[in-house]
Amino acid sequence: MAVQSPDSQARLPAHLALRIALAARALKDIGPACLLQALIAAVGEPITEARLAKLRASRLRSRLQQAGVAPSALGERPIQQAMGLLKGRGVNMPEEPLPSPQPYREGDLPGSVRVACASNGGERLDGIFSNCPRFLIYQVSPHECRLIDLREPPASDGADQRMERHAQRADLLHDCQLLYTLSIGGPAAAKVVRAGIHPVRLSRAMPAREMASRLQRILATTPPPWLAKAMGAEPAQRARFPSGQGTDPLSVRNKP
């Protein structure tokens, strides 16, 4: 189901397009194109999950009225139903097929790092370290990226202690230099760091390949010294890279 911006014709992610189509149906006489115009006016472009999360019903109603929708069509109940759908409540995407790892031998990608992505389904970076069903493992160099493994943590039971579960997950990623996740608590982060892995918390879900492309640009230009070391750079080469103080250059944040 493709819903496109009337101005930029930029294709929305499938899960957001589904939300907008369902919300338009809840508003009955308002088509997806009209709702999309109102959303762009309300939250700006690109429409993202984070921006929809901040949307208020009053702002949506106001933008729809400015688009020519009669106030009688914007009752409280349909507006609230549409708001819930736009924020993803009760919307379930069909499960995406799991990606297939590519062949890889150690040393195939010189100057690369190994990256784990917490994932709930498909080839998406959308999971939380402590409870995601699997980790996507990528080998990323400045010029190439390969999905080399899918790793599923062992199932936990009622007797399993939380700290033990964190340790098991960190051990599963022992050969990775980076972990991307939507959330990770302090005790879990300590376990990950102790295993020699740098945890990076994202502000939004995204396709894992998008993360890999961003990381490739960092590896090719300004990796922090510790990451340059993991890439195999000599000390003299690492000296030209920035110290990495302040905002983590590996994190992904929404544009204002």
Q: Where in the chain is the domain with CATH 3.30.420.130?
A: 113-238
What are the φ and ψ backbone dihedral angles of 116, each rounded to 5 degrees? -105, 135
Q: Which one-letter amino acid corresponds to residue 230?
A: A
Q: Is the pLDDT of residue 13 over 80?
A: no
pLDDT in tens, 20-72: 999 999 998 788 999 999 999 999 988 887 788 889 999 999 999 999 888 88
End-to-end CA distance of the chain: 27
pLDDT, greater one: 222 or 115: 115
Which architecture does CATH list for 113-238? Answer: 2-Layer Sandwich (3.30)
Q: Is the pLDDT of residue 1 over 60?
A: no
Listed as own residue / partner, the contacts of 156-164 with beta carbons closer than 8 Å and 24 or more positions apart are 162/130, 162/187, 163/187, 163/191
**Mean of pLDDT values over 181-202:** 93
